[in-house]
Structure 1
């Protein structure tokens, strides 16, 4: 079976999007399938039109999308043209487009022209991601238009995959047939995240974390992540746990505001910002953290979409504490594999973390339960088989139609 994946961006860029993509492609190769990918104009400038990265082949679209509707349409047309040339070179049996919706629109053009089956996989609704990132509002014309376009694309794809039940339920509520939707949940490549990292004592000493109760966040600094609430919780946490320290690893649109908030905090000396680190060094920082905290704000995006980072943390034997929003509830069983606290409430964060630090008697058991959950229910080596019957059915239907 030959699958061409159609992506917004890909390796060597580093994001939750590219890591999920890598996991899917590598796991599919592990099943003996042949895969390739084509990235859109938002990937940026690439050194060659076709690249091999980490053993995976990426066809690149020329970079650049002009702002405004005319620019978007031109970008979709250019992307479709590049997808078609990748089809000529790779000769896939099926197209697998991944959100945002403009990828599906470009793929639909090629699928119809070449009579290829198309799976459209939604990781988040683009309009809700814009609200979460602070680049859009739920009352805007752009939001309504993007939502309508998403529904239009879903109706015309041959099948739809989503990463969680929240997205599936939303599509069913829009009138999409439930049997058209496959849930392919976020998972972890245990070859990358399956071993608990040792503590790097030298790094811990350099960051002033020796003997500390370390709370950490490792990821992108978007507004919806609620990191301002986590920083806001630190004075109350330090009041009851004087050795509590917060380690912030990553960067993003909110970084400057979060650094300013931390500097103004009465416990500024208990908050450490590291900045972005290369992916191959991330485990060094995971190894310093006692509890990974994910204080996402309550909004449509976080209620519908499951994040990847808590799964990676559990796979590495780390404790997790997260806000009680829909996306987290699909991943974390409160009191069993992690702790859930009320969203948008710094005091509630501080209270939950203080309770966890005060009683470490079940930490080993909770770590083991979390890792077992990832291994049995969120492991890409088994998750990937969810695509098998879907692909097989669509390819067989396409063959019958051609005959």
Structure 2
């Protein structure tokens, strides 16, 4: 068995975008695994939308089949063509999907292969929550269901999303494996004092800072977080909230901040360059993830912990699973304005006991560092291959 475990595999990975070109949790995870799986005995080939950067970065192992801005029919046509060519050229041991839409046109091509699905969220439900029409959401759900039905195994980041996969798509729980998200612990664990990180980003060094790194969409709970700061400032008058990210409700949040007179207490920072993310986590006294719905794991929780900054989360989806083994005090009793305001106030005033920087870093490094998660992921790929022999 030990000898078999060392047998190298080749996995063909169907992704969405190439992460350095397009930020996002799904794409970051795909990119991280592409770099780390070879160390776990899995050679990676794959395809994504994008420019030629993926091929340049991976010496041709991962290619772009279409630009992200191409029409959907063109992307699907090129996805099928590229998949056929790459399968013939590489003859992988297992096909791995990270995004149902680009897997759909090649379902017949991968019929003979063991297939694993990385399920990072219900695409249809997330789209509907962000304002997609009912018809578009129903079409996306059917696409997802068709692809998931053809996969031997499914990887989810939390038990919460395992239940979503089972209840929304009828996937047999016996085919679901929980492998949490990953973080580059060395990159986010910057060896810098908080004051120095703040100076590097031109942030105030004499104020308590709360950070959230989120896409600016409704289900992320950012409106509630802004409202909560109106209460927090009454108890911690110099508190400052930094919101990092871009999205469809940016203008709405800006208006809300102005209407509540919170310009001195809430700062929209936009999308920071990826190289600055470790610094902004290190600069904060505390991070918060205020999600209202459909949160499978929350990779930002790991990034914050790896930087040595504790993170408060709402009890939504897989967020409690990400942090509760470190400290139950990191999980708020509820989502919404009141719970956020009370939790942030208690944390900033020191009445809520939080893990220190070293405990946060050790927890992230030992459980979620990229090589650790790559090894667990490789085990699932091998299981899929074994089930088909």
Aligned residue number for residue 123 of structure 2: 126
Alpha-carbon distance in 2 for matches of 1:235, 1:342: 20
Summarize the alignment of residues 159-308 of structure 1 with structure 2, pairs less than 5 Å apart: 159-173=153-167, 174-195=169-190, 197-199=192-194, 201=196, 203-204=198-199, 207=202, 209-297=204-292, 299=293, 301-302=294-295, 305-308=296-299
Change (3 A) 1:104 1:359: same
Q: How many residues get paired?
A: 379
What RMSD over aligned residues (CA atoms) do the two structures have, in Å? Answer: 2.8
| Structure 1 SS opposite 2:210 | strand
How far apart are residue 314 of structure 1 and its match? 1.0
Change (3 A) 1:275 1:149: closer
Summarize the alignment of residues 1-400 of structure 1 with structure 2, pairs less than 5 Å apart: 1-13=9-21, 14-39=23-48, 43-44=49-50, 46-47=51-52, 51-53=55-57, 57-63=61-67, 71-72=72-73, 75-99=75-99, 101-112=100-111, 115-136=112-133, 140-173=134-167, 174-195=169-190, 197-199=192-194, 201=196, 203-204=198-199, 207=202, 209-297=204-292, 299=293, 301-302=294-295, 305-333=296-324, 336=327, 338-359=329-350, 362-363=353-354, 365-396=355-386, 398=388, 400=389
Alpha-carbon distance in 2 for matches of 1:286, 1:109: 45
Alpha-carbon distance in 2 for matches of 1:293, 1:146: 31
Alpha-carbon distance in 2 for matches of 1:17, 1:261: 30
How far apart are residue 203 of structure 1 and its match? 4.6
Alpha-carbon distance in 2 for matches of 1:33, 1:206: 39
Change (3 A) 1:240 1:291: same
Q: Deviations over 1:321-354 (max 9, x none)?
A: 1222232122122992653335553233122111
Q: TM-score, normalised by structure 2?
A: 0.87
CA contact (8 A) 2:47 2:64 kept: yes
CA contact (8 A) 2:46 2:63 kept: yes
| Structure 2 SS opposite 1:59 | strand
Q: TM-score, normalised by structure 1?
A: 0.84
Q: Which has the higher contact order (CA 8 A, sep 6+)?
A: 2
How far apart are residue 361 of structure 1 and its match? 8.6
CA contact (8 A) 1:336 1:369 kept: no
| Structure 2 SS opposite 1:324 | coil
Structure 1 residues 380-389 or 349-358, which shifts more?
A: 380-389
How far apart are residue 176 of structure 1 and its match? 2.6
Structure 2's unaligned 5+ residue stretches are: 1-8
Q: Deviations over 1:94-139 (max 9, x none)?
A: 211112x213313423212xx3222122111111110233334xxx
Change (3 A) 1:81 1:200: farther
| Structure 2 SS opposite 1:268 | coil
Structure 1 residues 27-36 or 55-64, which shifts more?
A: 55-64
Q: Deviations over 1:119-175 (max 9, x none)?
A: 122111111110233334xxx243334334322322222322222212222333454
Change (3 A) 1:388 1:63: closer
| Structure 1 SS opposite 2:345 | helix
Alpha-carbon distance in 1 for matches of 2:300, 2:335: 19
CA contact (8 A) 1:93 1:395 kept: yes
Change (3 A) 1:142 1:151: same
CA contact (8 A) 1:6 1:37 kept: yes
